[in-house]
A and B are shown apart, each in its own frame.
Chain A
């Protein structure tokens, strides 16, 4: 039985990883909360964002954190176009059709990346990649602490946007009562695409904060997909607070699972949580709707 000298750093480390997971899940939960669709291409789009940050760094020497000014807006535009051009037309009245189309998109994006970028795993070199910060006697990687703070700030910004701006009001109106919102003059197609774009922009933020402590290859996104779904389901579909807390819980579960069960079996806890929550409490910890 490992004692607290091992467990506390492990939990803190899990919390910072969880912050990153939460960042990925925020976009997913925003998209679900408004459009009621499950975006299966979320991981593939995160991978695209990571490549964008990587090439900006390698080609132009741009710091990954400076890429925050470029990558999220570009991802927003991509998300807007995808929703308006493809995903929004796919449902034919069945949710599963959207799941299938986003699955198709993720297959396309992943394999095009494999074709163009090859399967090499790449990392960026920044002066702070190996810096550490001491918190409660635990030494945590500096980029992960930055990402953790970034996740909290992104969640706060999203909350402000949703509660204080006209766009946020329009998004919430559409999520609650689609016909009514359209009757008062809200352009549903446009606002849906804006929400999808915002969700994908969150991935852009995640990519910039993630890359200094992580890596990128064409398969990197698929590892995040189920984890992000788990967080969203655990926190309650469409809840920002839920995504944040769910992300932290999953990060800690993964860290402790790895500590007690070993690297390969450790991840199983995440999927078991996913299955159990969906079966017994599909509204999640903070979800309002059934």
Chain B
């Protein structure tokens, strides 16, 4: 009954987070929680493909940016309600995932090559959005201010909190479900040893396609939320490397291929950057230096992330790096 305990824990954790608006009056503090949930959503999206599927993506900005541009362009150019844009953004991002997945998995790209190609796709999208008119080209898009719940622009932070709470909770429930499903078992089999999985009759191509589309969908939702929260987009924000890095950093620090890893990673990263801001001040680049140092340290010494660290502290056994447990080579 271990899996049911995970579900109960998930509900309990999100229930506790749901108390935040009642307990916290300051907008600045609530903002940190909103951004943490948003980072957890983005990280969980990456985690589906990278953590559970073993396909390390360097270009998740491709999905994030597509979701963000979808909702913004639909509103600004066509006057379509952003709640419809939320669905459209997720679907558009999943479609981009399907396209990239088809181009890469079809031809058996794996490992570092897959990572580099995803980065190149994100760059192509960045250049395109920088060059065509309906995305506002290099100037970007400003979503007109019109505060109302029907317009996905809440007057108080609390409205945004509940939206991101629901979206992130949905992503985590989906991943819990994946962990208990036939699809999830096949996905992890492909990650651990693709050739062996295929020999056992797993359709690796189809499984990876499913993962990249789901991953793209949730990253697209994060993009939609970002666009509505900040009401401004440009090619560098939407398709820039910073988003791709954040989405892989969160689950790598928290623990790849674990349900709670992205939440741990998001909380840790945002806690750290708030702390560094309080201690060092707003010096340019310093919080990113810390992110880089963390990435190096985690990959070198804690390849299973905070979640892995927690579980082996509990069991009292010395930790083993992921690969030595037989996670296969690319």
List A residues at the B interface (Cβ < 8 Å). 38, 86, 89-101, 103-108, 110-115, 118-119, 218, 222, 226, 229-230, 233, 262, 264-265, 267-268, 271-272, 274-275, 278-280, 282
Closest to A275 in B: B120
Alpha-carbon gap, A268 to B329, bound state (A): 32
Of the listed residues B56, B111, B116, B303, the one surrounded by the most CB atoms of chain A closer than 10 A to its CB is B116
User: Could you tell me the distance between the alpha carbons of A267 and B322 in the complex, rounded to whole angstroms?
Assistant: 39
Question: Once the chains bind, are A96 and B111 in contact (CB under 8 Å)?
Answer: yes
Report the bound CA distance from A218 to B322 in whole Å: 34
Give the Cβ gap from B319 to chain A, nearest Cβ, in Å: 12
Interface string of B288-328 (1 = CB under 8 A from A): 11011111100110010000000000000000011110010
Instruction: Indicate if the CB atoms of A114 and B299 lie closer than 8 Å.
Output: no
Q: Chain A nearest CB: distance from B206 CB in Å?
A: 19
CA distance A282 to B289 in the complex (A): 34
B103 at the A interface (CB under 8 A): yes
B296–A278 contact, CB under 8 A?
A: no
Contact present for B241 and A222 (CB under 8 Å): yes
Give the shortest distance, in Å, between A30 (CB) and chain B (any CB). 17
Q: For the complex, give the distance between the alpha carbons of A108 and B245 in Å.
A: 13
Closest to A44 in B: B292
Contact A104 B119 (CB under 8 A): no
The 6 closest A-B pairs by CB, nearest first: A107-B292, A104-B295, A111-B285, A93-B323, A108-B292, A114-B285
Tell me which residues across on chain B come within 8 A of A95, comparing CB atoms: 111-112, 329-330
Q: Which chain B residues border A89 with CB–CB below 8 Å?
A: 300
**Given A89-B300, A100-B299: A115 and B117 within 8 A (CB)?**
no
Given A96-B56, A226-B120, A264-B131, A114 contacting B284 (CB threshold 8 A): yes
Known pairs A96-B56, A99-B56, A99-B115; A282 contacts B109 (CB<8 A) = yes
Name the one of B284, B288, B295 contacting A100, with C-beta atoms under 8 angstroms. Answer: B295
Beyond A89-B300, A100-B56, A100-B252, 13 additional contacts (C-beta under 8 Å) are A38-B116, A92-B322, A100-B248, A100-B295, A104-B295, A107-B289, A111-B292, A113-B285, A115-B284, A115-B285, A226-B119, A226-B120, A264-B138
- B residues 124-167 with Cβ under 8 Å of A? 124, 127-128, 130-131, 138
Q: Which residues of B contact A107 (CB under 8 A)?
A: 245, 288-289, 291-292, 295
A265 touches which of B123, B127, B299, B330 (Cβ 8 Å): B127
B32 at the interface (CB under 8 A from A): no
| Chain B interfacial residues counted at CB < 8 A | 48
The answer on a CB contact under 8 Å between A101 and B124 is: no
Which residues of B sit under 8 angstroms from A111, Cβ to Cβ?
Answer: 284-286, 288-289, 292
* Cβ-defined contact, A103 with B245, below 8 A: yes
Q: B295 touches which one: A103, A112, A262, A279 (CB < 8 A)?
A: A103
List, in ascending order, chain A residues with CB within 8 A of B56's CB.
96, 99-100
List B residues 219-251 near A (Cβ within 8 Å): 241, 245, 248
What are 22 A-B contacts with C-beta separation under 8 Å? A38-B112, A38-B116, A86-B296, A89-B300, A93-B323, A94-B323, A94-B329, A103-B245, A104-B293, A104-B295, A111-B284, A112-B289, A114-B285, A218-B285, A226-B123, A229-B116, A233-B116, A265-B127, A265-B128, A271-B124, A275-B103, A279-B103
Across the interface, which residues of B come within 8 angstroms of A114, CB to CB?
A: 284-285
Min distance, Cβ B325 to any Cβ of chain A, angstroms: 10
Rounded to whole Å, the gap between the CB of A289 and the closest CB of chain B is 13
Task: Decide yes or no whether B107 CB sits under 8 A from chain A.
Answer: yes
Q: Tell me whether B121 is interfacial, beta carbon within 8 Å.
A: yes
Instruction: Please name all residues of chain A whose beta carbon is closer than 8 Å to the beta carbon of B284 when the two chains form the complex.
Output: 111, 114-115, 118-119
B283 interfacial contact with A, CB 8 Å = yes
Residues 88-104 of B, flagged 1 when their CB comes within 8 A of A and 0 if not, give 00000000000000011
Taking the closest CB of chain A, its distance from the CB of B127, in whole angstroms, is: 5
Alpha-carbon distance A9/B248, docked complex (angstroms) = 43
Contact between A275 and B111, CB atoms less than 8 A apart: no
CA distance A206 to B245 in the complex (A): 27
Residue numbers in B under 8 Å from A229 (CB-CB)? 116
Residue of B nearest to A265 (CB): B131
Using Cβ atoms and an 8 Å threshold, which residues of chain B touch A119? 284
Return the chain A residue nearest B252 by Cβ.
Answer: A100
| In the assembled complex, B83 has its CB within 8 A of some CB on chain A | no
Alpha-carbon separation in the docked complex, A101 to B128 (Å): 30
Answer yes or no: B14 CB below 8 A from chain A CBs: no
